[in-house]
């Protein structure tokens, strides 16, 4: 309130100065002539003062003002001038030369605008600018965060916001609690803050989405505290908070998994993860190592990614033996040597080529790695009596229209055909947010560079879940009975909606969308089940166990897969597709677009 009153008084002073300057410009130092119009200037100032308030000059947080906000000043000074002219026209006891009125109008606008610009300049360039935090939440985590901010002199807590009616209007640490949360947009007009921290443990993504929609992300940074699982404590510090991400607003609800039972299963086991440097593989390693396996083998083809994940894990979990193995899963001889050396109890097979358009251009590689790599690992697991083998699949394996989808479906069929002491299972799910090669990275780059976001079709939809969520459910599946599991992905989300939400996070509300046309092998929407598959709920609400009534022959799959590979090697796509349809009749070459 004090800040608004000060601004109002400064604006009135600026208008008085503009009026006096106008008289000097018009009459020079003829004070006798100037004195005739003093009362007219007073009336101008009174009219202007009323207009400034009604115009909304003091509802704007001027630290973040932009061109639209400065136009509000122009509108206020212009209306002041026009109303003054009308007043003198109808009330002829006072007069004001037209030139004096015009100069007062222009001068008041320039003085007020200059004051605002100088304020903005000094605030933004000040090295000692104090960060001002608005904290959403009033529970223990929010309070401990506020205490840490004040203790370390990181910035100033300006207020708290909460939905709890019993706390609204009261104070915490001397700072007022406002509410409800839905009024944050109105609050931003009266309270000066540059960072908003969401400090509500277990908050739903829908609620986060609502909060994000209430603030202008080009002016205010929105951050969030980690989950209980991430910090394993009710104490949270300023270093724990992170920027808002797409996972926070995508619309997925928090999930619970049976960590105790998963931990008991993995404890003291030798676990091997293929594709350990990839998005899913690395997260599998992060979540597995917490459960204290006897040892963890990181198998991958890319030395840099394996090095990075091993360094990360060794730094945090020095008490777990971690081994690094570089190799291609299609190299059967080398895979056998690795299994012989480490004798894994459990194998998580996440290694795969997954980029659809790239694999359409290189179908030989898709079949070589995704199919024969899986065949090798499954056979070797039987040979070395691996206890459990988990294959990571994709929704693109259902009614495939791409070679990547085809390769994953054939790999699924082979896993389902295996009969030995090893317990095989498949986990099928849709897109994960932030995986390597994801279209979201392209969107992010385009938005940051101010370029149009390219989407292939306005009706394109996909399933999405976060990488940690998907991996948690993969681990949960290891303690369930069944051999084909499908994760509950919720509703498919339009790709355009995802792009616009990403733009919102990056402070770009009105991104331009350009449609480029569907690419080869691409679908408008994904599917999770075949018509002949029957989905049954398991004891976990997010995991389906799938029953199927089709027999799968191991030798037949190998034979036809070899024919597909040989024909692709010779670029004989039509012949390769003939053999492919013997295994997967639903396969449509290049999306059915010949």
Query: What are the catalytic residues?
Result: 396
Strand partners, 172: 175
Q: What DSSP assignment string belongs to 429-474?
A: E-EEET-TT-HHHHHHHHHHTTPPEEES-TT-EE-EEEHHHHHHHH
CB 131 within 8 A of CB 154: yes
CB 298 within 8 A of CB 285: yes
Query: Would you give the distance in Å from CA 524 to the centre of its chain?
Result: 22
CB 104 within 8 A of CB 41: yes
CB 282 within 8 A of CB 392: no
CB 301 within 8 A of CB 515: no
Structure tokens at 499: 């792009």
Cα–Cα distance measured from residue 102 to residue 21, given in angstroms and rounded to the nearest whole number:
12
Q: Which helix (H) or strand (E) holds 423?
A: strand 423-429
Going by C-alpha positions, the residue among 327, 272, 279, 278 that lies closest to residue 298 is: 272
Cα–Cα distance measured from residue 261 to residue 538, given in angstroms and rounded to the nearest whole number:
15
Give the C-alpha distances (Å, rounded to integers) separating 142 from 199, 211, 238, 291: 5, 16, 11, 29
CA count, 13 A, side-chain hemisphere, 152: 10
**End-to-end CA separation in angstroms for the chain:** 69
CB 391 within 8 A of CB 411: yes
What is the largest distance, in Å, between two alpha-carbon atoms of the chain?
112
537: helix, strand or coil = strand
Q: Helix and strand tally (H, E) in the chain?
A: 23, 22
Q: What DSSP assignment string belongs to 47-71?
A: HHHHHHHHHTTTSS-GGG--HHHHH
Residue linked to tokens 């790695």: 369
Query: Would you give the distance in Å from CA 107 to the centre of its chain?
Result: 47
Going 43 to 49 to 54 to 55, the CA torsion angle's sign is: positive
């Amino acid at each position: 309130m004090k800040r608004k009153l000060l601004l109002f008084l400064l604006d009135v002073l600026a208008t008085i100065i503009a009026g006096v300057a106008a008289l000097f410009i018009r009459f020079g130092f003829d004070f006798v002539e100037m004195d005739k119009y003093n009362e007219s200037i007073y009336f101008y100032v009174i009219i202007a003062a009323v207009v400034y308030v009604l115009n909304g000059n003091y509802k704007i947080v001027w630290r973040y003002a932009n061109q639209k906000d400065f136009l509000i000043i122009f509108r206020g000074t212009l209306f002041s001038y026009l109303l003054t002219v009308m007043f003198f026209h109808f009330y002829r006891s006072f007069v004001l030369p037209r030139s004096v009125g015009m100069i007062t109008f222009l001068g008041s606008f320039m003085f007020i605008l200059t004051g605002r610009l100088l304020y903005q300049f000094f605030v933004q360039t000040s090295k000692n600018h104090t960060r001002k935090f608005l904290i959403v939440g009033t529970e223990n985590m929010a309070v401990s965060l506020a205490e840490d901010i004040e203790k370390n002199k990181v910035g100033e807590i300006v207020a708290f916001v909460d939905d709890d009616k019993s706390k609204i209007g009261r104070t915490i640490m001397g700072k007022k609690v406002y509410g409800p949360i839905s009024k944050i947009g109105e609050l931003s007009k009266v309270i000066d803050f540059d960072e908003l921290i969401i400090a509500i443990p277990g908050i739903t993504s829908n609620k986060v989405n609502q909060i994000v929609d209430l603030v202008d992300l080009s002016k205010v940074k929105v951050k969030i505290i980690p989950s209980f699982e991430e910090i394993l404590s009710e104490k949270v510090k300023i270093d724990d908070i992170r920027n808002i991400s797409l996972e926070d607003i995508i619309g997925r609800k928090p999930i619970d998994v049976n960590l105790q039972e998963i931990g008991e299963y993995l404890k003291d086991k030798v676990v091997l993860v293929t594709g350990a440097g990839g998005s899913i593989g690395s997260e599998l390693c992060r979540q597995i190592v917490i459960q204290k396996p006897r040892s963890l083998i990181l198998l991958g083809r890319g030395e840099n990614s394996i090095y990075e994940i091993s360094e990360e894990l060794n730094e945090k979990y020095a008490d777990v033996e971690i081994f690094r193995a570089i190799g291609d899963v299609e190299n059967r001889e080398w895979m056998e040597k690795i299994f012989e050396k480490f004798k894994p109890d459990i194998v998580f097979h996440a290694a795969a080529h997954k980029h659809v358009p790239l694999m359409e251009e290189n179908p030989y590689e898709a079949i070589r790695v995704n199919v024969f790599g899986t065949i090798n690992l499954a056979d070797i697991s039987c040979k070395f009596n691996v206890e459990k083998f988990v294959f990571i699949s994709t929704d693109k394996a259902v009614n495939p229209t791409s070679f990547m989808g085809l390769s994953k479906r054939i790999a699924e069929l082979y896993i389902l055909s295996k009969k030995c002491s090893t317990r095989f299972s498949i986990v099928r799910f849709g897109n994960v947010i932030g995986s390597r090669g994801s279209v979201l990275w392209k969107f992010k780059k385009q938005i940051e560079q101010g370029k149009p976001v390219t989407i292939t079709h306005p009706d394109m939809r996909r399933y999405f879940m976060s990488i940690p969520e998907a991996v948690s459910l993969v681990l949960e599946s290891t303690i369930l009975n069944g051999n084909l599991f499908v994760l509950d992905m919720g509703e498919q989300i339009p790709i355009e909606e995802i792009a616009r939400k990403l733009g919102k996070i990056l402070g770009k509300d009105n991104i331009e969308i350009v449609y480029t046309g569907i690419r080869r092998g691409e679908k408008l929407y994904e599917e999770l089940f075949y018509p002949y598959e029957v989905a049954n709920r398991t004891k976990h609400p997010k995991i389906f166990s799938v029953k199927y009534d089709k027999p799968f022959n191991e030798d037949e799959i190998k034979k036809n897969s070899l024919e597909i590979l040989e024909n692709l090697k010779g670029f004989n796509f039509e012949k390769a597709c003939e053999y492919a349809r013997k295994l997967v009749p639903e396969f449509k070459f290049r999306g059915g677009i010949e």
